[in-house]
Homo-oligomer: A and B are copies of this chain.
Amino acid sequence: MYSGGYTGKVLRVNLTDKTFTEEALPEDVAQDFIGGSGFTVKYLYDLVPPDCDPLGPDNKLIFAPGPFTGTTIPCASRMAVNAKSPATGAMGVATTGGHFPVEMKRAGYDVMIIEGKAEEPTYLWIKGGEVKFRSAKDLWGLPTMDTQLMIKDELHDQNIRVCCIGPAGEKLSYMACIVNERRVAGRKGLGAVMGSKNLKAIALRGDLQMDIADHDKYDVARKRMREGMRKSPILYPEFSRYGTSTTLDLTQALGIYPTKNWTATGVFTPAEKIGGYAIEALGTGRTACAGCPVGCSQLRLAKEPPYAGFFTEGPEYETLYSFGGVTGVDNPDAIIAADRISDELGLDTMSAGVTIAFAMELFERGILTLEDTGGMDLHFGNDVSMIQLLHLMGVRKGLGDILADGTRVAARKIGKGSEKYALHVKGLELPAYDVRGAKAHGLNFATAFTGADHNKGYAFQEIFGIPIPYAVDRFAIEGKGALTMWTQDARCALADSPTMCVFLMDMAVADFMFDNTADLMEATTGLKYTPEEVHRVGERINNLARVFNTRAGLTRADDDLPERLKTEPIPEGPSKGQMISQVDLDFMLDEYYDARGWTRDGIPTRAKLEELHMGYAADDLGI
């Protein structure tokens, strides 16, 4: 039996009936899925029909921190959120940090499952084993920071932690996210799922202290982790000083910082204006998730009109891409403003920016006219129009309504060949790595179970040159199948399930992460793992999610990349001439499926699923 780390309780809340129940966390679920991402994948698989309408009452919203969350293990204050994604039609696991995840554990729960649909706008108030269903009528339409503040005031408790949606979630935007404090469970439209349930927010408060199974083992493993962190040149001083922002300087140097809707990578070079070293001047301190000694969250303040006074936690590298390079904007103040506005509206910065870049390319090509834009000049680089359009997307007005569900839906609505310029995989917009010059990233974008998601399998080997588990050539096609499987499984097993910040996994500590996670799991929970078994948990999660997606109708054909990447080489710079042809992609996919033990159609086999103790999933597939 597990004996620490878990609260042992799963909370199920039914919004239709205004009821809730508590269930025990089964031992085998804990052993096989660890927590966090693993738990949300397992529960979603078990409880949600794969063919359901993502915005209908059959979809469920599932929250799970991990067994490390709420302990003194550093950088463990994270949780996963999952639902069937309206953006992709696939599983939509997102993760977030901050303080809410720890508070959820303190409030007593390893997993929260939100079911049904409230009749009227509602928020949940969870404390002391009670769930109250409170009216959110007065909160409907509010931006996310105000929502959190108003709930604290209304409940007369400033120590409450809240996650919520903004206007974008209420209006069911496919790029709506769930916001807690200044952090988000982003992409994939989980905010729209929450909005579809008329659920504005979840407020919770607790005081439970986490037990530890074996204090001696725990101290040793924890110390080893902290020592590893201290040695990391990337955590200190890089991340604690710059956050992720200097990744821009690095990717631009590698020629893979995508600009102007991926037409000009390597040509347009904004690092000197919006790169990490440039925007350090706009820094005004930093903050950290609960229990994190790194504090990578840089706080930045816009200095010049019309953006002076906009303050944000960020912008992270991905946002320096989505509201920077990919839109052609090189005004750091505008990016700071767009970052904050997105957080307030509850819009994902990445999907929003890439979708605006898409609209900009359509405008440049004359597919969208001034009449379509309501008079906005949408040429690349127009930051004022970018901000205007962002507002319109958040509240679904005018052109913003057409764009609010991302490039795939917008291209369908706009027609006129615009799909060609829609840069997404499975409906999820491309992250900030021009994968034509970093092929494993391309394979991950094509195959990650959530769509084009750098947070499901990040090949740091190609970017930072870290040779774990082995060194790779970023331009090479060969060898990327096994690597992508490794990055995807490691991410689930080491970061998103226990839970643990991914920045530890990518860095110098990576070389002992499987060992140490096994040690920490035993020390914390009493559950025993070999390093290989930890790794296997990651594989299990990826396989179960793949079965769900297969049953939801996704096939090898969906493991694709946008046409542009397959036909247009990078025009200039250190990655000049690189692309991923259909032949290249097929080669990589075959390699990947082979490594996974799946069919060449990308379907998990009964042998693989049984090996992972998931014969039931093979039954469900009818194989």
Binding site for B on A (CB under 8 A): 137-143, 145-146, 149-150, 152-153, 158-159, 166-167, 284-285, 287, 299, 301, 303-306, 308-309, 311, 344-345, 388, 391-392, 394-395, 397-398, 400
Contacts and interface: CB of A to CB of B under 8 A. Distances in A.
A9 B69 CA distance: 45
Nearest to A284: B138
A256 B233 CA distance: 68
Contact of A142 (B141, B153, B311): B311
Nearest to A308: B395
Contacts of A305: 391-392, 395, 397-398, 400
B158 A308 contact: no
A395 B398 CA distance: 31
A166 B391 CA distance: 24
B388 A309 contact: no
A254 B169 CA distance: 45
Contacts of A285: 138, 150
B308 A142 contact: no
Given A391-B309, A395-B305, A299 B167 contact: no
Per assembly, the copies of the chain total 2
Among A159, A284, A304, A344, the most chain B Cβ lie within 10 Å of the Cβ of: A284
A207 B152 CA distance: 20
B153 A284 contact: no
Contact of A141 (B153, B301, B306): B301
A167 B308 contact: yes
Contacts of A308: 141, 167, 391, 394-395, 397
B309 A167 contact: yes
Nearest to A147: B311
A303 B141 contact: yes
Contacts of A150: 285, 299
A306 B158 contact: no
A391 B307 CA distance: 8
Contacts of A345: 309
Given A167-B309, A308-B167, A309-B394, A284 B142 contact: yes
Contact of A395 (B137, B309, B397): B309
A88 B309 CA distance: 27
Contacts of A167: 308-309
